[in-house]
Amino acid sequence: MSKLKITAGPFTFDARLETEKAPKTCEAFTKLLPYQSKIVHVRWSGEGVWIPLGDHDFGLGYENHTSYPAPGQIILYPGGISETEILLAYGGVHFASKMGQLAGNHFITLTSGLENLAELGPMVLWQGAQDIRFERA
């Protein structure tokens, strides 16, 4: 099944796994479902929120990777020169770290609730970390 329900802060989003474009990333992530964590605001990348994953090794390389995810796209950076992370773009993003530009695997796309992204991002920035939960729909 390629549909997900994502709850971030007070908002709920429907989403689609990009199984054709990023099959290995989707497979690795879905093994963790249901997955719950916290999102914090990005530091270098612009209008996005992220889940820091430290040195977690998904055993992945790049697939369907981008440095410029569109609002509503979720990418997974598999690690390397910076820590492993998951990023949700809510506006303009140029994915980077203190090491410079990065690229992450676009593996989830939000399909509903996009109008709430404009509230979610500033909420995380000004009110702090928010809960996030990924589960099968």
pLDDT tens-digit map of 52-105: 999 999 999 999 999 999 999 999 999 999 999 999 999 999 999 998 999 999
Name the average pLDDT for the chain.
97
pLDDT tens-digit map of 117-134: 999 999 999 999 999 999
Q: For the residues of the chain, what is the DSSP string, one character each?
A: --EEEEEETTEEEEEEE-TTTSHHHHHHHHTT-SEEEEEEE-SSSEEEEEEE-TT-------SSEESSPPTTEEEEE--SSS--EEEEEEEEE--EETTEE--EEEEEEE-S-GGGHHHHHHHHHHH--EEEEEEE-
pTM: 0.97
**Higher-pLDDT residue of 11, 1:** 11
